[in-house]
Amino acid sequence: MRKPKITVIGSINMDLVTITKRMPLQGETVVGETFRLIPGGKGANQAVAAARLGADVQMIGAVGTDAFGTELLQHLAKEGIIVDGVKPVTDTETGIATIIISEGDNRIIVVPGANHALRSDDLERWEEKIATSDVCLLQLEIPLSVVERAVSIAKRNGVRVILNPAPAQPLPDTLLDQVDFLTPNEHERDVVLAGRPLKQWAHKLIVTEGKRGVSFQRNGEQVLIPGFRVPVVDTTGAGDTFNGALAVALSKGMALEDACRYANAAAALSVTKLGAQTGMPTERELESFLAEKG
């Protein structure tokens, strides 16, 4: 069977992860338990999730020419991801995310750095690679103008587009009209579609609802795919795992309901380990989990 071919256009960060028993209050200092540097960024996370599930993945993005940038490129390459489309940027640092984890939940501050140095014109040289993809997967940690150009390139080549609208911001109608699927959580959905009729794009919405699962519309009716019950260690990257797995499932030709269940299971497995990418399952692990759950 031919491997799914996915192009991910998005952010590449280094995650600075601190684990503490409780979140500090405003102006308060608490003593943390552990600190780790973990490769992250929503784009890179989704690329790793898809690659671990057996897809051929190419990444388009930008990193600084600093130590973090070098380490992140090496890490992506080790995951089997093609990084020819990642632009080195000399005048700014690699993006970082500061993540505080407490009681199985997290708070995150992202500093975009080189991710915002990616330009629309950078995509033109990669049009042929985008055109041969089964799915183009995007998020919003890169400039919106780049996202819009990527969607335009994908659609004129007949490539299916999944847009994960995170971090949430209002999006132009022209962009929403072109994408095939929008994958927000409930908060992101409300921000993206604020003041506009939900029904106009309801057929494109796949809404992640945490442990409840994921919902979408089928023939005008709301469908909820329940989540899987697992011990939660760290929720960081669960949504990214879902999106990477969804891209793989749809590339394999799965029906939307089956694809959502597949992606739900991948996301569930991801929260059982610390770190966004470190918790992402392999294809074998996911198939075993699905078989176990019937």
Q: pLDDT digit string (tens) for 48-67?
A: 999 999 999 999 999 999 99
Residue 39, strand partner residues: 14
* Residue 98 pLDDT greater than 90, yes or no: yes
Q: What is the pLDDT of residue 259?
A: 96
pTM: 0.92
pLDDT in tens, 138-150: 999 999 999 999 9
Q: What is the pLDDT of residue 199?
A: 82
pLDDT in tens, 123-174: 999 999 999 999 999 999 999 999 999 999 999 999 999 999 999 999 999 9
Domains, the chain, ordered by start: 5-24+31-293 (3.40.1190.20)
Instruction: Please list, in sequence order, all residues whose beta carbon lies within 8 angstroms of the beta carbon of residue 254, skipping any fewer than 6 positions away.
Output: 262
CA nearest neighbour of 279 among 34, 38, 16, 75: 38
Query: How many Å apart are CA 259 and CA 246, to the nearest integer?
Result: 6
Angle at 165 between CA 17 and CA 217, to 5 degrees: 120
Residue position matching structure tokens 């995650």: 15
Q: Give the phi and the psi of residue 185 in degrees, each rounded to 5.
A: -85, -175
| Annotation says 240 is catalytic | yes
| Given the residues 15, 134, 234, 240, the one annotated as active site | 240
Residue position matching structure tokens 């993206």: 192
Q: What is the pLDDT of residue 1?
A: 66
